[in-house]
Amino acid sequence: MHRPTQQEGEASATPTIVDDGLVVRSLEDLHDQIDPRISISSRPTPEELDEALSTRINEPFYVEFKEGDERNPINFSRRKKWCITALACFSTLIASSTASAYSLGTPSMTRDLNCSNFQATIGIAIYCLGFGIVPLVTASFSEEFGRQPLYIGSGIGFILMYLMVALAKNIQTVLIARFIQGAFGSTGATMVGGTIADIWAAKERGLPMSLFSLVAVGGNGIGPFIAGWIEMNPKLGWRWIQWVQMMICAVYLVLIPFMMTETRSSVLLTRLAKKMRKDTGDNRYRARVEDERASLRTLIFISCTRPVHLMLTELVVASFSLWIGFAWGVTYVMVQSISGVFRNLHGFTMGQVGSVFMTMAIGSFLGFLTNFYQESLYQKNFPTRGPEARLYSACFAAVLLPVSMFIYAWCSFAKVHWISLAIAIVMYIMATFIIYLAVFSYLADCYGPFASSALAGQSLARNITATAFPLFTKQMYQQLDYKWANTLFGCIAALMVPIPFILFFYGPAIRMRSKFSRAVMESQR
């Protein structure tokens, strides 16, 4: 292997290519940093960097991938990219279907565990609580350890919680397991967006991100579809809902070592730099992230505080968090209410009720199809409208959301055919899917390097409402009945109609008043 000397590094501004095919740059060659808040002079000591180092580094050589290097995740083959994307989306499908499938097993669970329906319902809410809060702490772990170990670790923890629920002897054990399962599920699912960003260029990201949104929203219907028929069989019941899901999750775990390779380039470069230091004995080989990465404690502090800060201080993040949070909360109200509406009004069996949940998958698929038109509008109008070109379909969804709720409310009569309720659910989930995807795409465009924090903020809002709403669903329907309770939701949704329209027309002016998004706008000029 060729090792550049100290003089070579100082004398030349051209990157050196070593025998491994990696590019090596000296300190003077670098004009940008991963994180401008961290000074290059504050890099850690060699002892902190690597226990094998015993001398202080004076002039580092920064290791980078050369152009076209197949070890760089962005240069993976398309087949490999789609395999990784498919498995990552599969993890999201498992997490979202597990959240809602649980609700179909509550009748047999309340009988077997001698608990109230409200206690069983807490299992839905507490899963969402774990899903919303824990990623604020664990999101930074992928920067330190990489994505693949977290996929494996969260998958193992997730599958063990199926076992804990299935063998539970009391409702308290079920609730503890559901919270932990939500925490493990969120760790995997929240990395999917980052994984897609690791391997797909920005112009290619539209289809993979829409597939991710499809399984995230549509999975809420697929899980109950299977669970309804399991619950209907008196020999199976709620425990077998867990066993069947555990088997599906086991397939995912088996596939991880074969399909999910590490996709975070900074982690890969760190490993290569350590190998070069060991092979050559030259302590100057470094990955830039080793100097620029803050401590794990600092990263956790940032990931815990910045999403909340953005959600409370940024008008764009706050308004979208409120909007998607409400839509997501009502989605879980529907998960709770569908059983009562179709059984009480139309005499459906539990298996038939489970089949009704497929309307959620159908609505998500229709929303997925609309994204192709939205993407064409975005490509056409981005040069003139900027990130606001992401909001055409969101404006349509803003109107569709309350309309679907009003249909669902005023068709809640035994004399009205059940198909009208099914159509209303399809319309609602279609609107929710469009909003969900628009939130991801728009915030990613507006906040650039701060997008993960902005998205974590809306995710927190989403899961907090999903935690709270199911807790009052039954009482609300008992007090107001189906038509007036859903009319109330429709009226609230109608009040939120202006949100995407205001951002569509006044988004640039609003973003210029923001410290974070203004910095992104100025850097793009």
Within 10 angstroms of residue 402's Cβ, the number of other Cβ atoms is 21
Is residue 25 within 8 A of residue 10, CB to CB? The reply is: no
Element (H, E) at 16: strand 16-17
Q: What is the pLDDT of residues 405-421, one digit of tens each?
A: 999 999 988 888 999 99
Q: How far apart are CA 493 and CA 415, in angstroms?
A: 27
| Identity at 41, one-letter amino acid code | S
| Distance (Å, whole) CA 412 – CA 415 | 9
pTM recorded for the entire structure: 0.79
* pLDDT recorded at residue 178: 94
CATH class of residue range 72-262:
mainly alpha
Q: Domain extents for the chain? A: 72-262, 298-524
Query: What is the mean predicted confidence (pLDDT) over 280-284?
Result: 75
Contact 442, 320 (CB under 8 A): yes
Could you identify the residue written with the tokens 């100057």?
A: 284
What confidence category does residue 495 fall into, taking pLDDT thresholds of 50, 70 and 90? very high
Are 218 and 331 a contacting pair, CB within 8 Å? no
The two beta strands, 285-286 and 61-65, are: parallel
What's the mean pLDDT in 49-68?
59
Residue 64, beta-bridge partner list: 23
Q: Does 290 have pLDDT greater than 90? A: no
- Positive or negative, the Cα torsion across 411, 414, 415, 421? positive
CATH number of 298-524: 1.20.1250
**Residue whose tokens read 């924090």:** 453
pLDDT at position 37 = 37
Query: What is the DSSP pairing of strand 61-65 with strand 16-17?
Result: unpaired
Count Cβ atoms within 10 A of the Cβ of residue 392 and give its class: 0-12 exposed, 13-18 middle, 19 or more buried: buried
- Rounded to an integer, the average pLDDT of 176-205 is 83
Amino acid identity at 291: D
CA 286 to each of CA 40, 71, 263, 269, 293: distance values in angstroms, whole numbers, following the listed order:
12, 17, 19, 8, 12
Residues of the chain above pLDDT 70, percent: 83
pLDDT for res 476: 86
Name the DSSP class of 335: H
Burial 196-212 (b: 16+ CB within 10 A, else e): bbbbbeeeebbbbbbbb
Region of poorest pLDDT, from 23-32, 89-98, 405-414 = 23-32
| Residue 258: CB atoms within 10 Å | 9
How much is the average pLDDT of 158-181?
94
pLDDT tens-digit readout, 115-151: 888 888 888 889 988 888 887 777 667 767 788 888 8
Going by C-alpha positions, the residue among 95, 93, 88, 118 that lies closest to residue 178 is: 95
Res. 502 pLDDT band, cuts 50 70 90: very high
